[in-house]
Amino acid sequence: MGNNRNLKDDVSGTGNTRGLFRLSQIKMPIRAKITVPYFFLALLLAVGAGFLISNIVFDTLDERFKNQLAEVGLLSSELMVKEEDRLLESFRLLANAEGISEAISVGDPEGLREITLGVIVNNQIEAIEILDPAGNPLLSMRHKEGGLIEEYEYSTGGNGDLFRSWEFVQKVLQNQEDPLGDKYAGFVQESWGDFFYISGPVFNESNQFVGVILVGSRLQTIATALREKTLGQITFYHFNGQPIVSSFPFMPESLDETTAAAVIGDQNLPSTRTRIVDSQRDITVVALDYTEALAAWEIRGDVDLGIMGAALQKNFFVNPSTLTSVQLGLLISLALFLVIMIGINLANLITRPLLGLVEASQAVAGGDLNVKVDLETNDEINVLAKSFSQMIANLNRSRNDLLEAYDSALMGWSKALELRDKETEGHTQRVTEMAQALAREMGVDGEAMVNIRRGAILHDIGKMGVPDAILHKPGDLGDDEWIVMRKHPAYAYEMLKGLRFLQFALDIPRYHHENWDGKGYPYGLKGDEIPLAARIFSVVDVWDALTSERPYKEKFSAAKSMQIIEEESGSKFDPEVVSAFKRLMRNFLPAEIMEDQVGRSD
Stated as kind and residue range, the H or E segment containing 114 is helix 109-122
Q: Exposed/middle/buried for 409, CB within 10 Å: 0-12, 13-18, 19+?
A: exposed
Q: Which residue from 553, 337, 385 is spatially nearest to 25, judged by alpha carbons?
A: 385
Q: Cα–Cα distance between 567 and 569 in angstroms, integer?
A: 6
Of residues 467 and 115, more confidence is placed in 115
Q: Cα–Cα distance between 545 and 423 in angstroms, integer?
A: 10
Query: Mean pLDDT throughout 197-211?
Result: 93
Query: Three-state secondary structure along 379-425?
Result: CHHHHHHHHHHHHHHHHHHHHHHHHHHHHHHHHHHHHHHHHHCHHHC
DSSP state at residue 67: H
- Is residue 602 within 8 A of residue 594, CB to CB? The reply is no
Which of 38-47, 127-136, 261-270 has the highest average model confidence (pLDDT)?
127-136
Question: What is Dmax (Cα atoms) for the chain?
Answer: 103
Letter for the amino acid at 386? K
Q: What share of the chain is helix, strand, coil (3-state, %, to 5)?
A: 55, 15, 30
Q: How confident is the model at residue 131 (pLDDT cuts 50, 70, 90)?
A: very high
* Beta bridge pairs of residue 285: 288
Per-residue pLDDT reduced to its tens digit, 426-478: 788 888 889 999 999 999 988 888 889 888 888 887 777 778 777 777 777 88
- Is residue 310 within 8 A of residue 248, CB to CB? The reply is no
Q: Cα–Cα distance between 195 and 199 in angstroms, integer?
A: 12
Q: What is the pTM of this model?
A: 0.45
Q: Cα–Cα distance between 454 and 284 in angstroms, integer?
A: 69
Per-residue pLDDT reduced to its tens digit, 289-321: 898 888 888 887 778 888 988 888 875 444 455
The pLDDT of residue 133 is: 93
Measured CA distances, 70 to 127, 233, 521 (Å)? 32, 13, 55
Q: Residue 17: pLDDT above 70?
A: no
DSSP 258-324: HHHHHHHHGGGSS-HHHHHHHSEEEEEETTEEEEEEEEEEEETTTEEEEEEEEEEEPPP--PPPHHH
Q: Please give the order of strands across the beta sheet that includes 152-155.
A: 152-155, 137-143, 127-131, 209-218, 193-203, 184-190
Q: Residue 48: pLDDT above 80?
A: no
- Is residue 441 within 8 A of residue 546, CB to CB? The reply is no
Q: Cα–Cα distance between 180 and 177 in angstroms, integer?
A: 7
Per-residue pLDDT reduced to its tens digit, 159-185: 889 999 999 999 999 999 888 888 899
The pLDDT of residue 528 is: 93
For the chain, list the domains and their CATH numbers: 67-313 (3.30.450.20), 421-601 (1.10.3210.10)
Q: Cα–Cα distance between 128 and 124 in angstroms, integer?
A: 11
